[in-house]
Amino acid sequence: MNKMIVYHGSTEIVREPEIRITKFNKDFYFGFYCTIMKEQAKRWAMRFGRSGYVSCYEYTPNKELKMLKFDKMTESWLDFIVDCRAGIAHDYDIVEGPMADDTIYNYIQGFIDGKYSRAAFWELAKFKYPTHQISFHTARALNTLRFIEGVLENEE
């Protein structure tokens, strides 16, 4: 596995990534979330309708870490997100795959609530644009990241 650049969008520059336990469970549970897509990180940075920062890292994969990767939305991806959002923890150091954006999350919640069947979910879940996320869930996983820079992002 080769090194790659990953991005994190936030209201501040994040030189020292950390895992924060929040009120809401995320797609791949609690972790530090990045993406290989700089434009997506910009959207994360400005999601509150104001300027934000994109922090850039060099990610060096570590074969000793336990990793789960979803190359695309699949039944196992959906089941994993449903479990994570329900608060069911996993033991992976790093999880990578498509992101359930706000629209997709609403469909997932509808599926969880029994409003949509699996077939209806998949029909609704067609992305308008590709997404990507890689989440780091342990201190060992965070050690694979090296901060490069933080860049202010504004609406232009």
pLDDT above 90 covers what percent of the chain? 69
How far is residue 139's CA from residue 62's CA, in Å, rounded to a whole number? 13
Q: Long-range CB contacts (< 8 A, 24+ apart) of 22-26?
A: 25/84, 25/85, 25/86, 25/87, 26/84, 26/85, 26/135
Q: Across the chain, what does the average pLDDT equal?
A: 91
pLDDT tens per residue across span 87-139 = 999 999 999 999 887 778 788 889 999 999 999 888 888 765 678 999 999 99
pLDDT above 70 covers what percent of the chain? 96
Q: Residue ranges of the domains in the chain?
A: 4-153
- Amino acid identity for residue 46 in this structure: M
Q: Which residue has the higher pLDDT, 126 or 49?
A: 49
Structure-token pair, residue 35: 């993406």
Return the closest-CA partner of residue 150 out of 40, 39, 35, 7.
7
pLDDT of residue 1: 64
Residue 142: is its pLDDT beyond 70? yes
Is 0.95 topped by the overall pTM? no
pLDDT of residue 129: 67
